[in-house]
Amino acid sequence: MPNKIPEEFKKIYEKQGYRFVGKNQHSAVKICKWTKESISRGRNCFKRWYGVESHRCLQCTVSLFCLNRCVYCWRTFHPFFEQNMESMEIDEPAEIIEELIKQQRLLLTGFKGNPSIDRKKYEEAQYPNNAALSLIGESLLYPKISELLKEFHKRNFTTFLLTKGTLPEKIMNLEVEPTNFYISLCAPDKQTFIKVDNPLVPNAWEKQMESLELMRSFSCRKVIRLTLVKELNLKEPEKYAKLILRAEPDFIEAKAFFHVGEAQKRLPRAAMPTMDDIRKFAQNLSESAGYKIKDEDLASRVVLLAKT
């Protein structure tokens, strides 16, 4: 397996607005829709629930590699990103962060000449203060993830670390906790998990269950994210509740799958739940798990539940 990102893959992603950073280019940044919305229209994403200002959010990844091929994922899959990242040369945390910020600023340049934007927000956006390590890929595959989190925190960033939970040994060995620790739980049982997540490693379901157990030992803010698809995993909230209670998260996000990117080739548009679908599911989940519905965001079709 080559240790250089295929050029055809880079071209596809750069056309989609991604920018690869670092000497070894295993990291990338992309301006989030909500960063743009905040600067141009004053609208913020649901991360406001956790104190994040959308215009100052750095949506990024330090590992383009992933251990799953989730059917709802918007990314383009490529065999290159199914290899073990540890076989590659990797970039240092400080270098990655500097390059991510630099590329974010370049991607925002187009707003500079727009007279209708919020000028103050545009200037503040040059200095992001939240790192959302959830763009694509599995960030826990980056061997220096603890050092990266420490470096972000040293720069007064808050951090969101999202994982599919199929690397419990990496979770166990984290030396630095993120500000928000997310596990993406997208199936109420093993059979559905295999169908939805298409894991590339053996015993992935068992590993995810182990990760849920590990989550409860974290002292940072803990969140379980459910990405829900009609006729696939939008079902059996009582089973989800039992799994979620293993992790004892502070919050649950019940969120609709969106028919965007490459997911359009894998799933029909009818698989995208309505807001009413999500509200109904969240209410049933609330009753089963004992979590209280706290808020919702219509634009992202997500309902927030909190521990009572």
Mean pLDDT of 128-155: 96
Tokens encoding 272: 């995208």
What's the pLDDT at 5?
77
What's the pLDDT at 263?
87
- pLDDT band of residue 136 (cuts 50, 70, 90) is confident
What's the pLDDT at 9?
82
What's the pLDDT at 244?
98
| pLDDT tens figures, 77-100 | 777 776 667 778 899 999 999 999
Q: How would you list the strands of the sheet with 180-184, edge to edge?
A: 19-21, 27-29, 57-61, 130-133, 158-163, 180-184, 221-228, 251-256, 302-307, 291-297
pLDDT beyond 90 at 308: no
Q: Rounded mean pLDDT of the chain?
A: 94
Mean pLDDT of 42-68: 94
**Contact between 155 and 179 (Cβ < 8 Å):** no
What's the pLDDT at 234?
98
pLDDT beyond 90 at 150: yes
pLDDT beyond 90 at 112: no
- Note the CATH number of domain 7-307: 3.20.20.70
What's the pLDDT at 113?
83
pLDDT beyond 80 at 198: yes
pLDDT beyond 50 at 119: yes
- pLDDT band of residue 1 (cuts 50, 70, 90) is very low
- pLDDT band of residue 3 (cuts 50, 70, 90) is low
Is 0.85 topped by the overall pTM? Answer: yes
Mean pLDDT of 10-15: 88
| pLDDT tens figures, 246-300 | 999 999 999 999 999 888 999 999 999 999 999 999 999 999 999 999 999 999 9
Mean pLDDT of 153-169: 97
**Contact between 81 and 64 (Cβ < 8 Å):** yes
What's the pLDDT at 58?
97
Q: Which of 8-22, 158-172, 242-256 has the lowest mean pLDDT?
A: 8-22
Q: Please report, for the chain, the start and end positions of each structural domain, with discontinuous segments joined by +.
A: 7-307
What's the pLDDT at 284?
98
